[in-house]
Amino acid sequence: MSFWEYVGSRHAQLLADTFQHASAVFQCMVVATLAGVAIGVATYRSEWAGNLAVTAGATLLTIPSLALIGLLVPVTGLGVAPTVTALVLYGLLPIVRNAIVGLRGVDPALVDAAKGIGMSRAARLFRVELPLAWPPILTGIRVSTQMLMGIAAIAAYASGPGLGNEIFRGISSLGSVNALNQVLAGTLGIIVLALGFDAAYVLIGRLTIPRGIRA
């Protein structure tokens, strides 16, 4: 069976897996982004707390994903729970780091000017600091998403959702006619999803980065 015949005959299953993969990554990214920016906002003012958050993040990032999932399984059981936990944890790290770097990079004179025209703490944060720190945060989101695409594939081994199932089905039936097709469909599907998300982020950047700081 050629690859296209395989895709044609299994398109329902493949579409379902693709959708699950995309939706798992997307939902985890939403949670990771909100939590990551919140951690960044909470810690960037203190040298100590900010550096701790960055160091802790960098350390967690060195942990291989299969090992983290392996540590989560005894706690959460198999399936969606360890997948979501691992994805959110890994997704957090680049966002926290970039949020802290971005917020610290905002020119203090601008924040002072905002203070001078009577903006409250919250208004300064939401109308001055976060918009100025948005480009590095968005870069962090892009990096996270690319990483999560691959990690979600590995999480399928712990019965997680998505295209990784296709790849592992291929691995477990090595030598059979469809092994190559299954692995190829899963891998290409993830690449296409990752590139699609990346293109969406470029578009989001165009629409949301304030005109004044656009490169």
| Cα of 115 vs its chain's centroid, Å | 34
Q: Among residue numbers 8 through 47, which ones bind another protein (CB under 8 A)?
A: 44-45, 47
Residues 62 and 65: their CA atoms lie apart, in Å, by 9
Among 160, 215, 149, 214, residue whose Cα is nearest residue 187: 149
Among 178, 180, 201, 205, binds another protein (CB under 8 A): 180
Among 149, 145, 48, residue whose Cα is nearest residue 100: 48
Using CA atoms, how far residue 66 sits from 46, 62, 90, 113, 132, in Å, is 33, 12, 12, 48, 36
Shortest Å distance, C-beta 168 to another protein: 8
Compose the 77-116 pattern: x for residues touching another protein by CB under 8 A, - for all others: -x------------------------xxxxxxx-xx--xx
- Footprint of another protein (CB under 8 A): 44-45, 47, 59, 62-68, 70-71, 73-74, 78, 103-109, 111-112, 115-116, 121, 146, 149-150, 153-154, 157-158, 164, 167-168, 170-171, 174, 179-180, 183-184, 186-187, 190-191, 194-195, 198
